[in-house]
Amino acid sequence: MPRKSKNISSPNLTNSDEEREQFEIYLSNKGLRLTRPRKLIFDEVFNVHGHVDAEELAAHLREPGKRVSRASVYRTLDLLAEANLVKPIRLLSGKQRIYEHIHSGEHHDHLVCIECGRIQEFFSEDLENLQTKLCSKHEFKPARHTMIVYGLCGQCSKKKK
């Protein structure tokens, strides 16, 4: 049984090229413009591994060379989501603007450690299939989903003993 498991810090620096193209296509299809702020935001988003949070992003982009406004960050995150490059996730954290990358349609779910906060991603074919089955049972046409399991990661659960 195939097992695709990933850590937050998988080093894939330069391969945002594909995403970048997808972004440009999306923009031009909609008659939107590839501006300096949008480029900067795009880069920041796709150079970060793991999850992207609007406020953090805005903070980074306030630095000397960049100076992108908070408003543009929020607006551009919307675009990236519409372009299907980024997907909103909801953690127990009070923030509503947290996203994760969507790498070429690959989907995954989350194990969140309630002790150390580590987020581990996983993917399960079985889970996807089951979901499809469950949705059709309820006459529901799924667009996307989030599954988050909260609990103790291996390390923390050992420490607890």
For residue 51, which of 75, 87, 93 has the smallest C-alpha distance? 87
According to CB under 7 A, which residues from 28 to 47 bind DNA? 31-38
By the rule CB under 7 A, 2 interacts with DNA: no
For DNA, which residue of 20, 60, 70, 108 counts as binding (CB under 7 A)?
A: 70
By the rule CB under 8 A, 114 interacts with a second copy: yes
Q: Which SS3 state, helix, strand or coil, does residue 26 take?
A: helix
Of 9-17, 27-35, 62-70, 123-131, the segment contacting a second copy by CB under 8 A is 123-131
Backbone angles phi, psi at 97, to 5 degrees: -115, 70
By the rule CB under 7 A, 103 interacts with DNA: no
Q: Alpha-carbon distance 1 to 39, whole Å?
A: 40
Least CB distance to DNA at residue 69 (A): 3
Pick one of a second copy, DNA, none as the site partner of residue 81 (Cβ within 5 to 8 A by kind).
Answer: none
By the rule CB under 7 A, 20 interacts with DNA: no
Q: Alpha-carbon distance 157 to 115, whole Å?
A: 9
Cβ nearer to DNA, comparing 64 with 105: 64
Q: Which residues contact a second copy by CB under 8 A? A: 3, 5, 88, 90-94, 96, 111, 113-114, 120, 122, 124, 126-127, 130-131, 134-135, 137-154, 157
